[in-house]
Copies of this chain bind each other. A is one copy, B any other.
Amino acid sequence: MANSKFEYVRNFETPDPLMPNTWIVVRVDGRGFTKMCAKYNFEKPNDRRALDLMNAAAKAVVTEIPDITIAYGVSDEYSFVFHKSCELFERRSSKLVSTVVSTFTSNYVHQWPTCFPDTPLSSPLPSFDGRAVCYPSVQNLRDYMSWRQVDCHINNLYNTTFWALIQLGGLDNKEAEKTLAGTLSADKNEILFSRFSINYNNEPEINKKGSVVFRDYELVDPASNNVAETIDSVAEPVKQSKSQREKDKKRRAKARILVEHLDIIKDDFWDMRPWILSGKPGKVPKET
């Protein structure tokens, strides 16, 4: 039986390839997480279980999609970076976005009981939306990552002070808001320290810096490479021999995936881990 009479409807699909030779960032955001936080009693300003769950889901995404070279998460958002040479799904935007969002969601829901053993999920379940943005140069990509980390810092400092005023200072939400209106970073640090003896610098790194997910290879001397320049000047995906490709694949699969809380704004993070920008797996460190 021929299906041809209706098959013309296929022509209505529009192609959505992302520009070649650009960095693809797929950003995942929690939907209605303010409500969710309330519903499941997330701790304020940061719920460690919730962050661990986000990180576990992100780690699963990076593990399952080796084209992702680095990911960065904070609060209820996570950004996944596909290397500029990535050819996965012919770089189709909706395929890339939906696959990342679905894999993330799937793991988030599945691992929920591990992180929240006493809090069963109920409808409506947590869900996420996503979108893809391309960045042409390494500097654009790093500026994107820096933007998210600066945002993390600004929000966390604000939230830490806000909730200290409420939880320790006995203010209500409106009073806390008013107290913070117009304050600079230094003012917030001062409030924390003078009123509550909290030294913001001693706050957990995961809250101050967010979380970075990447493969673990041997660190290199930052002065030994200029991977950013080299990578910017690469014009198209390197055609690797099949054996080289297989070798890289194995190395990548063998690499541990780390979730750390590091400064990704300064050069050092990138210079010591050239594999993140080069896309070439580094040396797998010896087990100790």
Interface residues of A (CB under 8 A from B): 1, 3, 5-17, 19-22, 28, 31, 60, 63-64, 84, 92-95, 97-99, 101-110, 121, 123-140, 143-144, 146-147, 150-151, 153-154, 184-185, 228-229, 232-236
Contact = CB atoms under 8 A, between A and B. Distances in A.
Given A137-B21, A154-B1, A13 B228 contact: no
Given A9-B144, A137-B136, A129 B98 contact: yes
A22 to B, nearest CB: 5
A128 B1 contact: no
Nearest to A93: B94
Nearest to A236: B8
B31 A102 contact: yes
Contacts of A17: 14-15
Given A31-B99, A133-B12, A232-B232, A125 B107 contact: yes
Output the residue of A3, A8, A63 with the most chain B CB within 10 A. Answer: A8
Question: How many copies of this chain sit in the oligomeric assembly?
Answer: 4
B101 A6 contact: no
Contacts of A125: 60, 103, 106-107, 110
A105 to B, nearest CB: 4
A121 B107 CA distance: 11
A98 B150 CA distance: 26
A53 B28 CA distance: 25
A196 to B, nearest CB: 20
A123 B31 contact: no
A135 B3 contact: no
Which 6 A/B pairs are nearest by Cβ-Cβ distance? A6-B147, A136-B136, A139-B235, A98-B130, A102-B127, A232-B232
A13 B151 contact: no
Contacts of A7: 147
A139 B234 contact: yes
A127 B99 contact: yes
B98 A22 contact: no
